[in-house]
Structure 1
Amino acid sequence: MRPFVLIGPSHPFRGGVAHHTTLLYRHLAARHPVTFYTFRRQYPAWLFPGRSDRDPSAEPLREPGVEAVLDSLDPRTWVDVYRRIRRARPTLVIVPWWTSFWTPHVWGLAMLLRRLPETRTLAICHNVVDHEARPWSRACARLALARADHCLVHSAEDAARLRALVPTARITVGFHPRYEFARAGLVEPAEARARLGLSGETILFFGFVRPYKGLVHLLEAMPRIRAERPVTLLVVGEFWDGTARFDARVRALGLEQAVRVVDRYVPNEEVGLYFAAADLVVLPYVAGTASGVVQLAYGLDRPVVATRVGALAEVVEDGVTGFLVSPGRPEELARAVLRFFAEGRAAEFAANIRRYRARYSWERLVDLIDVIAAGAPAPAVGP
């Protein structure tokens, strides 16, 4: 059996793409011989907007046999990986795509791989275009993704976006699998709230705080929510632009006692605690494609209120696993949160989420990749 090659971030680097790529390797390797090349340096320090790109987890997601050989600033390391691939003659080379920073790397590697007709290249597109797009983002995506033999996207919206950029692209609409790595940290809600100094009904915003995630709209919804129920908003995630403006708005709205902020990257072993404390996870995004936060919530049996953007509208089933609202509408967010508590939908939604587990399994994603590797027309499965 000819091997697969996977290229992308993994431990010691942090974040959703590193988690996704590492778990994909784990599940691919259960079925195929796989070589996984990861980074010894990912982003240059001056470019990374967060405090660090290293994972502080005491229990990180890591797999044996991963080869840390790539340096984003040293093209010789990418040529070296191409030479290794040429010797291995793999069936498929899988490369994640999520930001235009990687354009020269993905484009250069894909061009070299064109010399190996027996090897196909699959780009897994977490975003076709950067979340906060720059003037050059679309051109970079077109340049890099046009060289891939096949592109796997997480939503029909991103498939349309890619088709507009690269009309000849072979595109499959897949899905983002669920995350269950934090289940070991789950405790009873009352215990979680006691450990965090919380009480009563709690909603959670989780993940890096960036403009496209629309946290400001959820904050603006809180006075309307608090007028009817004593709900606490728990914001857990690193603010890439600092908290000054957010804190000022909290004070202006008189929400100092209603909003709790944990402004840091949360290590894996603590994730379950924050989700256990929450009745509901809220994603007030104003733009986006897929979200690992939804699949983290699903992996921890937590219902979701989300906006109708990108894959969120395809993954959250309105009235079944959560509620969907229009983006940028605080009043709609407030009504959805109040409805969730007033109707007591937590147990029903959680049961539905558990029933949908197989729909978002890693095994099902590997099935889809196998079809692509075989060169057969891949179905647009979606969630």
Structure 2
Amino acid sequence: MRVALIGPVYPYRGGIAHYTASLAEAFQQVGHEVLIYSFLRQYPYWLYPGKSDKEPSQQNIYFPVVYTIDTMNPYTWVGTAKSIKEDHPDLVVFQWWTTFMSPAFTTIGYYCRQQQFPVVFLIHNVYPHEKRWLDRGLAWLTLRLGDAFIVQSDQEKNKLLSLLPNARVYLHPHPVYFPFAGLRLDNISAKTHLGLDTSLPVVLFFGIVRPYKGLSLLLEAIAVLKQRGYFIQVLVVGEFWEDINKYQQLIRKLEISDLVYLENRYIPNEEVPLYFSAADIFVAPYISGTQSGAVKLAMGFGLPIVVSDIICDDVLCNSDIVVKFPVRDTGQLAVAIQHALEKKMRMDTSISEDKGPTNNLWLDLAMLFQKVLSDTSSLKNRGISESQ
């Protein structure tokens, strides 16, 4: 099967770019031919909330990539569609996570449908996390071009079906990331390198800091534990996409300045193992959203994980290293953190690429696309089919 995969990849940074690379590698492992169509420019600098959308680390690419899409230049959208036509893929896969891509993806998707190429959208989020009034219309404009959809949570499936009631939808959980697990360091050495107190446990909050990720809840839970005489260090690592001052003020108000370490920057790949190795548990106290790439990265490191129940998918809920708590419940979050640490949930042997219940999820996802293609090809009507 020849796959045209559309989405960001290195040198662009972030979870979607890592996802694109992992999926491309899985396609290759199951014997499919893949060509990635990525971006000349992903966002104009004045719209991107971070310092840069480029990955600062050095990284090798083991699959073919062409950088053809400029989201601000419609000429490149048509050019990308023509390139896909010349490649004549069996399947066109769009990564969908933000309605900002709607104009470009609608144009490319329309041309692909005109050429009778099956179009599948892999849904990360039907709507952006910070939803705006026009997002529903933009999502409908683009996603109506899909022959089928793969979602990664029941919540996103429900959102999609509320937008496109007749959509043909397949559910597959977000796979676990393993690329850095083999570079794990000794816990004490990692804490020492970062200047942390080696006698106290470390909770890691990792990734871009945005309101929906619930960092304030974590800080409040740490204050609750401190009042109970339970001292835990918090390592907050990631670029702040909101005012860092409000968190610094909250930290001072809660009197936990001696326990919280803020690393306000995007972490290159080469440094990722250091922070995960220093952690004793990983906490994702999300107040909205449906999934987390950072959580799946923590699973790859074999870290015990505390998550709000809003993002507890089948992989997380069935894992014995995961403790969940009711969303927005600070008291239960504190209990969950203490439980995770006191029960010494860190796995004796960490998950590796060769073992563990989640090791085949990337390959399963790649093979699911073959089923989607087979199902889609059997449909007489090339429009959006009945819901599955």
Shorter-chain TM-score: which interval?
Answer: over 0.9
Aligned to 2:172: 174
Q: Structure 2, unaligned stretches of length 5 or more? A: 379-388
Q: Percent identity?
A: 34
Task: Report the 3-state secondary structure (helix = DSSP H, G, I; strand = E; otherwise coil) of the residue aligned with 1:83.
Answer: helix
| Partner AA of 2:247 in structure 1 | F
Larger deviation, residues 343-352 vs 216-225: 343-352
Residues 147 and 192 (structure 1 numbering): CA distance in 2 closer, same or farther, change over 3 Å? same
The number of residues matched between the two structures is 372
Separation in 1, partners of 2:337, 2:15: 26
Aligned ranges 1:220-235 → 2 under 5 Å = 220-226=220-226, 227-235=228-236
CA distance in structure 2 between the partners assigned to 1:373 and 1:4 by the alignment: 10
Post-superposition shift, 1:138?
A: 1.9
Alpha carbons 1:208, 1:237 under 8 Å: kept: yes
Do the aligned residues in 1 keep the contact of 2:304 with 2:340 (CA within 8 Å)? no
Provide Cα deviations, 1:85-133, integer angstroms capped at 9, x if missing partner.
222221100110001101111222221122122x200111111111111
Structure 1 counterpart of 2:218, one-letter code: L
**Contact 1:321–1:349, Cα closer than 8 Å, also in 2:** no
**TM-score, normalised via structure 1 length:** 0.92
Q: How much has 1:56 moved relative to structure 2?
A: 0.6
State the 1:289 CA deviation: 1.8
Task: Give me the whole-angstrom Cα distance separating, in 1, the residues matched to 2:345 and 2:320.
Answer: 9
Which residue number corresponds to residue 49 of structure 1? 49
Equivalent position of 1:76 in the other structure: 75
Moved more, 242-251 or 342-351: 342-351
Q: Are 2:301 and 1:303 aligned? A: no
Aligned AA for 2:292?
S
Q: 1:64, CA displacement in angstroms?
A: 4.5
Aligned equivalents of 1:307, 1:81: Cα separation in 2: 40
Q: Is the 8 A contact 1:321 1:350 kept in 2?
A: no
2:323 corresponds to 1:323: yes
Question: Is the contact made by 1:94 and 1:123 (CA closer than 8 Å) also made in structure 2?
Answer: yes
Amino acid in the other structure paired with 2:268: P
The SS at the match of 1:316 is helix
Cα separation, 1, equivalents of 2:141 and 2:324: 34
**Take 2:283 and 2:349, find their aligned partners in 1: how far apart are those partners?**
14
In the alignment, does 2:133 pair up with 1:132?
no
CA gap of 1:352–1:156, structure 2 versus 1, over 3 A, is farther
Contact 2:301 2:351 in 1 (8 A): no
Give the distance between the partners of 1:130 and 1:61, measured in 2 at CA: 30
Matched ranges for 1:1-383 at <5 A: 3-30=2-29, 31-58=31-58, 60=59, 62-117=61-116, 119-198=117-196, 199=198, 200-226=200-226, 227-310=228-311, 312-317=312-317, 320-347=320-347, 355-358=356-359, 361-375=361-375
SS at 1:375 equivalent: helix
CA distance in 2, matches of 1:75, 1:38: 15
Instruction: Give 2:8's aligned amino acid.
Output: P
Displacement after TM superposition at 1:266 (Å): 0.4
Name the aligned partner's letter for residue 110 of structure 2: M
Kindly state the Cα deviation for residue 352 of structure 1 after the two structures are TM-superposed.
11
